[in-house]
Chains A and B, each alone.
Chain A
Amino acid sequence: MRTTRFRQCLATAALGTALAAGLAMSGAANAQAYPSKTINYILPFNAGGESDLSARFQQAVFKKVAGVETVIQYMAGAGGAQAWSQLNSMPGDGYTIMGINLPHTVLQPMQKDVGYKTDDLTPVNYFHYTPDAIFVHADSPFKTLKDLIDFAKKSPGMLTFSGSGSNSSNNLAQVRFDELAGIKTTYIPFSGTAPAVTAILGKQTLAGFNYAPSGISHAGKMRMLAVASEKRMPAFPDVPTFRELGFDLVGGAYRGLSVPKSTPEDIRQKVSDIISGINADAGFRKKMEDGGFVLTDVGYKEMPAFVAAKKKEYTALADKLGIKKQ
């Protein structure tokens, strides 16, 4: 017992020293030109999702652009609402930035009181989106979008689309597409992109509304019939856009960054510039475009117009999804 106690004392002393050293270090960084220390990048989702992946891409070049590192922290819960509802209580010093997503941050508060309103968030930059796209299995008899529509017209409701989540961008796109093409299809929500893709690969559903990057990771096993980007994507030069085929469908999951409301104007602009700077990095650009992302450069100045337009678009669709407005 005596030796154990001695060992305990030793361990305690060591820990105490470590504690003191740690406290001293955390107090050191202060008042210098922004950014002068590591920036906390909070993601409202679990590690391993698409938001995580895109943040990891940014993290890899963050130091090069901003001069400081960024650390990714996860605060998953309630589809992002847990983190977003706490954003404004965090320090507005520019060292706390949080990922935000569309259409989530518009549709969620519309459906239910989730602890934040769309306008509580302070977006400073929307840096890319992953366009919605229709996929079928490589063996599928549907070779073109027209084949798919013909089938749906012949047998209403029989065409099943897998997609990521209810009231998501995939879900919105399916509702819009039904309307534009004058067809009726069945949307089967899955708990994320990976299981939704698995359903296509395993032929559980006839087709899927998914995001364009899946076309990269599952090349050769799935056929992309149309993509909801404005122009053809560099990664998929042979895949037509919905617009080319006569359907005005452009959209997907948009990713951006918000800061707490208390963040000063000049810091908001600086955060926005860092993110734009990362987007402008040639190596980063190539990786993202090869990966099926569409880079956008909606900076802090362009934000009000962009958000207003998106809100209008989603509000119109929300009625059709049956989301009750509050």
Chain B
Amino acid sequence: MGNLSYLIDALTPFNMVLALGGVVLGTIIGALPGLSATMAVAILVPFTFGMSPASGLIALGAIYTGAIYGGSFAAILVNTPGTPSSIATTFDGYPMAKRGDGGLAVTLATIASVVGGLVGAISLLVLAPPLANIALLFGPSEYFWLAIFGLTLISALSVGNTVKGLIGGCLGLLLSTVGVAIVGGDVRYTMNSQILLGGIDITSALIGLYCVPVLIDLVATRAPHLSIVEDTRGYRLLEALRISWASKFNLIRSSAIGTAVGILPGAGGSIAGLIAYSEARRSSRHPERFGTGEPDGVIATESSNNATVGGGFIPTLVLGIPGTPPDAIILGALLVQGIKIGPSLFNEQGGIVYTFMFGLLIATVLMLPVGLLLGRYAYTSIVKIPKSLLVPTVAFLTILGSFAIHSNVHDMQMMFVLGVMAWILQRYGFAPSPIVLGLVLGSIAEMGFVQTYMIGNATNALAGMFFGRPISAVIIVFAALTLCYPLITAMLGRRNKPAPVEATDTVVKVVTTDKAKRTKFRDVPAILFSLLFIGLGVAAYTQTKDMSAMGKVFPTTIAALLVILSGLLISFQIGRPAAPAKKDLSGEAKESTWRRVSIIVAMGVWVLLLPSIGFFATSLVAFLVLVGIASFDRLSPREMAIHGVAAVAIVGAFQLLMDNVLGLRMPTGLLF
């Protein structure tokens, strides 16, 4: 480690400004759902051509790490993971914000991100060449089992509701097969429409599945979006530090998981976050609190996803294999600058590499003050902004974000459709998270499975390929543990302590209401939905008959599973006593159905007309309509004026940002 002189190189004022600017910009972009780290990095690349390679790299690394971190804001404050990396942040971050601990959650996310980022960056600095080989140890079968491991989290997420959770997982897996298959090239479940050829975009689906239900329920009552407690102003930094210190093993473990998963080119931040979450839950003394606002959940996800930044650079710089999509762009920028990648990079051009690594470390440290300031600002504005402005703004961001990913209006429409479906399903106990896990992990699982199968078949070692490889075996053991753990704790729990509180995933119900009475009544909607899913499964199964052998194996398996699970759910429910007539509904009576229907209709018309009329015009009108739907008191003329100006400003500012800064092609349609 005689490379400390490079630290001085990294500390030039210009580099510091780049690091700071990069972190700030990245955090803001990451906080906006749909605007991803990949996009942030891609925009910055042309500007780095004029800089020295090390400075360019520092700027790129800073914006990248900032963007991954910024994703936590949207996850915590509006239940929308800005990037797939922060899916698991919503599980506990949003419940915390709901009950008034949003500031604490943001501060915890910041501390965890900094620690995770530091662990990743230090691993990069100290251990890159040996660690890079991990990337090569993982083949198709390891990726398959890793994805399965991620999927086993469904069982933990849906304690007390396991069958519904598994059904949701199957739905997500089926959704992941839509479009042109990478392996085999089959065109699947597109219903002969070109729109579905590209499949369902994961980020736009995330926005829909998590955020649209929140919006719909937000307009139903007058209650504030997040409960306000007295100390909304504080960072609660000391409290957060205390919690983090108490969770130091969780922090370190999650950061290590994030670094290791970041090294794997086929995995990425989503798997890192999910596995770290799963492990944190398994080793916690209060696993039942996970999913209801447990700080350890936020710490685990956020430390691991920021650790993937440093981890991802390890194979990128050592092997020339990009660990994550933003790494691929940074690799390209390096090649354009004429820098050769590979082990020689560390010797011949060590100056650049080490200066960059120290730059990344500095950027990570800068995340602490930047994050605390921006995070506090984000939190207080979400709390203070009136609902009549919050709802239209968040709705606008979902539309904008789902469009921005691929400049594709179909992604935006798919986001809305999935969101409404998620809202309906959620009302009947089918939580969105299992669907999301299926969707995110489905393609990794399928690709790994089919490749393993093909290689195994070609070499006559099918069983060996799947079960005989040592790393696979270890992952299988962990997956089995996660799968069975809820059962084990339930059995132990029955002996030791009162029945665990039902973890209701992200559906946040106040747990104190005495709904935990153990008599279970027949759930008629569940039976109806199961019938629907059986139909869906059969349809999906029959559609596979024209597919190639490679293309059909996964969807047939999933379709069959869906039918079996739905049958199982029906058989459970039939046996139960019919539910008594609905009792006191006074709690729900205040919920406004017309507002819910109106917001669905308004957003539906919005996404339908946007391509033909134009982005700015429809968004402005829709914004004002949503102001109306979300207003519970008559607005004074003054307030109306303010809302009008806010609508023009917000829609206009983003239009300019998209068009002129991010260089996206905005649909103009008839008007503008």
Q: Is A48 an interface residue (CB 8 A)?
A: yes
Task: A74 to B405: give the CA distance in the assembly, Å.
Answer: 9
Q: Is B181 an interface residue (CB 8 A)?
A: yes
Question: Given A4-B384, A217-B320, A78–B197 Cβ distance below 8 Å?
Answer: yes
Of the candidates A53, A167, A194, the one whose C-beta lies within 8 Å of that of B321 is: A194
The residue in chain B whose Cβ has the minimal distance to the Cβ of A203 is B136
Q: Is there contact, CB below 8 Å, between B336 and A56?
A: yes
Task: A217 to B646: give the CA distance in the assembly, Å.
Answer: 51
Q: Is there contact, CB below 8 Å, between A59 and B46?
A: yes
Q: Is there contact, CB below 8 Å, between B653 and A18?
A: yes
B253-300 residues with Cβ-Cβ distance < 8 A to A are: 265-266
Most buried by B among A78, A198, A202: A78
Q: Is there contact, CB below 8 Å, between B329 and A47?
A: yes
Q: Is there contact, CB below 8 Å, between B194 and A22?
A: no
Q: Is A304 an interface residue (CB 8 A)?
A: no
Per-residue interface assignment for chain A, residues 192 to 216, with 1 indicating a CB less than 8 Å from any chain B CB and 0 otherwise: 0011011101111100000000001
Q: Is B454 an interface residue (CB 8 A)?
A: yes
Q: Is A263 an interface residue (CB 8 A)?
A: no
Q: Is there contact, CB below 8 Å, between B325 and A47?
A: yes
* Chain A residues within an 8 Å CB radius of B457: 186
Most buried by B among A8, A42, A167: A8
Task: A210 to B463: give the CA distance in the assembly, Å.
Answer: 28
Most buried by A among B39, B137, B198, B265: B198
The residue in chain B whose Cβ has the minimal distance to the Cβ of A167 is B185
Of the candidates A12, A79, A220, the one whose C-beta lies within 8 Å of that of B649 is: A12
B374-392 residues with Cβ-Cβ distance < 8 A to A are: 384
* Chain A residues within an 8 Å CB radius of B455: 160, 186, 188, 204-205
**Chain A at the B interface: SS class:** mixed
Of the candidates A81, A113, A190, A205, the one whose C-beta lies within 8 Å of that of B198 is: A81
* Chain B residues within an 8 Å CB radius of A74: 42, 406-407
Q: Is B660 an interface residue (CB 8 A)?
A: yes
Task: A56 to B336: give the CA distance in the assembly, Å.
Answer: 7
* Chain A residues within an 8 Å CB radius of B336: 53, 56-57, 60
Task: A16 to B647: give the CA distance in the assembly, Å.
Answer: 11
* Chain A residues within an 8 Å CB radius of B51: none
Smallest Cβ distance from A153 to chain B, in angstroms?
Answer: 15
Q: Is there contact, CB below 8 Å, between B332 and A219?
A: no
Smallest Cβ distance from A83 to chain B, in angstroms?
Answer: 9
Per-residue interface assignment for chain A, residues 112 to 134, with 1 indicating a CB less than 8 Å from any chain B CB and 0 otherwise: 11110000000000000000000
Q: Is there contact, CB below 8 Å, between B265 and A194?
A: yes
Smallest Cβ distance from B550 to chain A, in angstroms?
Answer: 8
Q: Is B648 an interface residue (CB 8 A)?
A: yes
Smallest Cβ distance from A60 to chain B, in angstroms?
Answer: 6
Most buried by A among B325, B648, B663: B663
Q: Is B38 an interface residue (CB 8 A)?
A: yes
Of the candidates B140, B328, B648, the one whose C-beta lies within 8 Å of that of A49 is: B328
The residue in chain A whose Cβ has the minimal distance to the Cβ of B444 is A191
* Chain B residues within an 8 Å CB radius of A114: 194, 197
Smallest Cβ distance from B617 to chain A, in angstroms?
Answer: 14
Q: Is there contact, CB below 8 Å, between A191 and B182?
A: yes
Q: Is B652 an interface residue (CB 8 A)?
A: yes
Q: Is A305 an interface residue (CB 8 A)?
A: no
The residue in chain B whose Cβ has the minimal distance to the Cβ of A70 is B46
Q: Is B341 an interface residue (CB 8 A)?
A: yes
Q: Is B138 an interface residue (CB 8 A)?
A: yes
Task: A159 to B194: give the CA distance in the assembly, Å.
Answer: 36
Of the candidates A75, A82, A202, the one whose C-beta lies within 8 Å of that of B135 is: A202
* Chain B residues within an 8 Å CB radius of A160: 454-455, 458-459
Per-residue interface assignment for chain A, residues 30 to 56, with 1 indicating a CB less than 8 Å from any chain B CB and 0 otherwise: 000000000010100011110011001
Task: A194 to B326: give the CA distance in the assembly, Å.
Answer: 13
Task: A195 to B266: give the CA distance in the assembly, Å.
Answer: 7
Q: Is there contact, CB below 8 Å, between B649 and A11?
A: yes
The residue in chain A whose Cβ has the minimal distance to the Cβ of B186 is A166
Task: A203 to B135: give the CA distance in the assembly, Å.
Answer: 12
Q: Is B509 an interface residue (CB 8 A)?
A: no
Q: Is B114 an interface residue (CB 8 A)?
A: no
The residue in chain A whose Cβ has the minimal distance to the Cβ of B380 is A4
Per-residue interface assignment for chain B, residues 634 to 661, with 1 indicating a CB less than 8 Å from any chain A CB and 0 otherwise: 0000000010011011001100100110
Q: Is B49 an interface residue (CB 8 A)?
A: yes
Most buried by A among B319, B384, B648: B319
Q: Is B598 an interface residue (CB 8 A)?
A: no
Of the candidates B137, B183, B329, the one whose C-beta lies within 8 Å of that of A189 is: B183
Q: Is A157 an interface residue (CB 8 A)?
A: yes
* Chain B residues within an 8 Å CB radius of A4: 384
Q: Is there contact, CB below 8 Å, between A46 and B665?
A: no
| Complex A-B: 7 CB contacts under 8 Å | A16-B645, A47-B39, A48-B329, A56-B333, A74-B42, A75-B665, A158-B460
